Structure 1
Amino acid sequence: MKKSLLVIGAAALIPSGVMAGGSHSDGHHHETEPAHHQDMGHGDDHHASGGHASMVGEPAAADAAGRTVHVDLLDTMRFAFDAPLDLKRGQAVRFVVINRGQVRHEFSIGSKDEQESHRAMMRQMPNMVHDDPNTVTVEPGQTRELTWRFDGEQPVVFACNIPGHAEAGMVATATLKP
């Protein structure tokens, strides 16, 4: 009898463990196998700060943006910015990102090292979909927005880190002005 109660009690705990597994509210979604946030090349410290702080800045509220830049994502593996990337430290910019192509693309803001790390993670999990403050996945015909306040001493790198895209030239770099 004790053994039966123990088995029933253990079985009752299984669903609660599964339900306590969490959601993808951190902005990462996976179309194939699940992955844990720590395995994605990200630390957990950005949750405490309320966003994805970076070597090149941090997320900003859309209404804080003093400028809007439209970005077309093209299947020629290029970004087409509607204005020069004349960026200043402390400036908040709203990016309206439109996928004009027929394949999925990504728009990511970071330093060179951050982009290289993200690219390596994407090689391990190529079907990962992002909805983060600094990175969005954009399906064909879709428009996404993100707003970023630029800061730091490092050049800003914009990249599509879907495997093969950055390597084919889907990267742009800007130097922050004081």
Structure 2
Amino acid sequence: MSAISRRRPLATTCTVVLIGAGLLWAPAARAAVPSDLATQPEATPASLCVSRPPRDGFPPGGGNNTGGIPPRYQWGNSPYLGARYDSCPSKVRVFYGGYSGTGFLHYTHYVMKYTTPGELGWKTTQLTIGQHRVWTFTNASHGDWNFKVKACFNAPREGGGERSVCSDWSPQIYLNSR
């Protein structure tokens, strides 16, 4: 008997075993998927998400490009600021920094002003100081985003209390997430 004729039954047996194992495990695998995910057509794995090239923000009023990916911009002694939209998953990331919180002027926080799609007016938030920071919006709305940032510290006032002393505002960054 030749070697070729002895291999055929082995290959056929292996194929039958693999198909049989798949048929036995398939119902168990289906049962392991939560029923709400198994029946909803919009519940697709992230790997099926169709990605487009990321979009980077830019300063409509100008600014000094300090480099990086995405590009970051600043004015004089302002913090740098850059933004990027990734369509898959829908995420806006804001890159800011340039101040460490050490040195003669001990900056303690950043003040970020921003607008989000579909909402009027600027919102303000306080963020942690640091040389290289990232602020992330997950499930980002599609539309127009705007950002600007400054670094601040609280200084004592003569007669009591405190006042904020801040750097210049960064250039305003516009980001389209459509």
Same fold (TM over 0.5): no
TM-score by length of 2: 0.32
More strand by share: 2
Q: Which structure has the bigger radius of gyration?
A: 2
TM-score by length of 1: 0.32
Larger RCO (CA under 8 A, 6+ residues apart): 1
